[in-house]
Amino acid sequence: MNKENLVGILLELSSTAGVSGDEAAAVKAARSQFSLYTDEVKLDRFGNLIAMKKGEAPPSEKLTLALIAHIDEIGLMVTKIEPGGFLRFTSLGGIDARALPGQAVVVHGKKTVEGVVGATAPHLLSPRDRAKTVPFEKLFIDTGYDDQTLNNYVRVGDTISFIQKPLLLETGKRITGKALDNRAGVAALIFCAAELTGLRHQADLCFIASLQEEVGLRGAITAAYGLKPDLAVAVDVTHGDIPGVDEKKAFKLGDGPALGMGPNFHPPLSLAMQQTAKEYNLPFQVEPIPAHSGTDAWAFQVSREGIPTALLSIPLRYMHTTVELLDIDDLISGGRLLARLAARMNKSYLGELRGC
């Protein structure tokens, strides 16, 4: 897969709606890609997308490596339909209410209804009010319908996603759009699966696009239990470098994926990733994480009798907004690294890792 293909996949994944709990469209888009490069694609009981790629190991040497990226994105949900055709809403996942006024949205009702998050014009606000944040419960969506018509199309509990066409920026290296957290991770898995069609691998590989990460790693909890892999690597995004953000919490775009270090990760597996990157001349950064990584890795590590787990993160700026921005090269080096790690994984290497 070349860079253009990857960009194309990411642009498609980013423009598809898939807020937590309503990921079907995004899953469908990812599914068609995974089926090109893997042996079997299915949904588990929770709805997680599972793509299996068989390894060459004989039955006695079998092992499974799970690569997991969540496919859900943050969004909103209708809580009430107000007279005048306005919708009240709550958030799905962590959303900064300050970034909402003026956003274009689509309500996934019986009919899809477009709208905008309304805001009082600055002219009508006192200077004091303008200095304040509008709290979540004061915000509303204007659909342009009267409430009777709207009631036919929309119900309480319908999900709402953001409208934002992704864009390849002028340099051809950086992409901006919504839901790059974590369609970037999903794209990296697809890229990895494509890379592996040209490599031999012993381990059975299990690519998971997990649901409901943004509301509490929920898909990962059940996927880890159900699949019982021998090893797992979570692929997610981390904060990119932004002016004014503490350097220790942000990573440079274009300098390669960030590899997690800390209690949430199996130290030998994390080191094996770093080692693999060095051997294949792939750039990476080290991300120290003192406790909860806030990713699916947290759920995988303690599933059943414990799963050695590592984390690879794509640096991304402006997380949880509709203008998330990343460097496509980080995705490529991340995908390659995962493929190389997968290709070298076998029972004896696993034994070495576990023995540490």
- Which positions are catalytic? 213
Among 214, 238, 216, 215, residue whose Cα is nearest residue 318: 238
Paired sense of beta strands 204-210 and 64-70, if any: parallel
Closest distance between another protein and the C-beta of residue 298, in Å?
9
Q: How far is the CB of 25 from another protein (least distance, A)?
A: 8
Minimum CB distance to another protein, residue 313 (Å): 14
- Which C-beta is closer to another protein: that of 171 or that of 348? 348
| Smallest distance from another protein to CB 266, Å | 7
- Minimum distance of another protein from residue 326's CB (angstroms): 22
For residues 317 and 169, give the distance between their C-alpha atoms in angstroms, rounded to a whole number. 14
Angstrom distances, CA of residue 307 to CA of 60, 266, 355: 20, 8, 14
Pairing of strands 231-239, 309-316: parallel
Count of other CB atoms within 10 angstroms of residue 83: 8
If the CB atoms of residues 122 and 135 are measured against another protein, the closer one turns out to be 135
Residue 52 or 168: which CB sits closer to another protein? 52
Look at strands 104-108 and 112-117 and give their pairing: antiparallel
Spatial distance between the Cα atoms of 55 and 193, rounded to a whole number of angstroms: 12
CB-count exposure of residue 118 (10 Å: 0-12, 13-18, 19+) = middle
Token pair of 338, please?
């995962």
- Which residues, at least 6 apart from 165, have a Cβ–Cβ distance to it below 8 Å? 15, 177
Residue 114 · residue 154 · CB < 8 Å: no
Cα Rg of the chain, angstroms: 21
Q: For tokens 């294949």, what's the residue?
A: 280
Q: Which residue, 172 or 216, is less far from another protein as judged by CB?
A: 216
Residues that bind another protein (CB under 8 A): 20-22, 24-25, 27, 43-47, 77-81, 88, 90, 92, 137, 155-157, 212, 215, 218, 221-222, 225-226, 246-249, 261-264, 266, 286, 288, 290-292, 301-302, 304-308, 354
Smallest gap from Cβ 198 to another protein, in A, equals 31
Cβ proximity to another protein, 195 vs 236, nearer residue: 236
- Measured from the CB atom, the residue of 103 and 301 that comes closer to another protein is 301
